[in-house]
Amino acid sequence: MTPTYNLYGKELPIPKKPEFEVYFDPTTTVVISIDMHEGHLSEADDCPCPAPRGRAIIEAVDAFHRSARQRGVPVLHVVSKLKQSGLDDINGIPAAWRHTMPEYTGPIRGINEHGVSGSKWTELCTEFLEGDELIDTKRRLSAFYPTDLDFVLRQMGAKTVILTGINTDCCVLNSAFDASNRNYRVIVLSDATAGTDEYLEKASLSIISLFLGVVMSSDQLLKKWSAPLQ
């Protein structure tokens, strides 16, 4: 059966066109896993920026990463990490979400501890194995800003990036825009990403599918990788 992708909420066969086929060459592909750390995924009452729907995808993220590694596709883990002084956030010009999110969710008990370097909140909740790389200078919503991710990807010869992690409507979406603007081919895995809620998750995947790249499930991508390039 022909592998499928998701276009604006519809599951369709991947077009048999050269411009789509180039997305699926594992030799020029890198996986970028975004913010799968305790600061979002902890169940503690003082979790500084809770993303509870992300807990449900930990197993799926780990499983896909294992399959990618087996095919020689590198995995990069991106972690939000801030200076202990707070200069790059709460003691400078704070990130906007620190003001806007509590207006919707109510007070967030540990919010000032989010991403602080050296804290338990920056510890990964997904597997970090030999050969993986860590990008831990993310200070805002995109995995590319102000990190060295772009430099590392170009050193690796990456043409396609596969995004896993959280949140689909926030850091994944921002990273997809930045990757596309930097001329990377973008794949976002619908079952290895999670949004703030179902509505925002679906909306974000629709935006990505129309403007930024290919949205598909991990099993469909693995099926496509198993098929010969056209």
Q: Which residue has the tokens 């805002």?
A: 140
Q: Residue 135 in contact with residue 76, Cβ under 8 Å? A: yes
Task: Output the CA–CA distances (angstroms, integers) from residue 45 to 50, 81, 103, 113, in the order listed.
Answer: 9, 20, 18, 13
Q: pLDDT tens string for the chain (230 positions)?
A: 789 999 999 999 999 999 999 999 999 999 999 999 999 999 999 999 999 999 999 999 999 999 999 999 999 999 999 999 999 999 999 999 999 999 999 999 999 999 999 999 999 999 999 999 999 999 999 999 999 999 999 999 999 999 999 999 999 999 999 999 999 999 999 999 999 999 999 999 999 999 999 999 999 999 999 976 55
Q: Backbone dihedral region of 85: left (phi > 0), alpha (psi from -120 to 50 degrees) or beta?
A: alpha
Please count the other Cβ atoms lying within 10 Å of the Cβ belonging to residue 230. Answer: 10
- The tens digit of pLDDT for each residue in 175-226 reads 999 999 999 999 999 999 999 999 999 999 999 999 999 999 999 999 999 9
Which domains are assigned to the chain?
4-226 (3.40.50.850)
What per-residue confidence (pLDDT) applies to 224? 97
At a CB cut-off of 8 Å and minimum separation 6, what does 116 contact?
Answer: 81, 82, 84, 86, 122
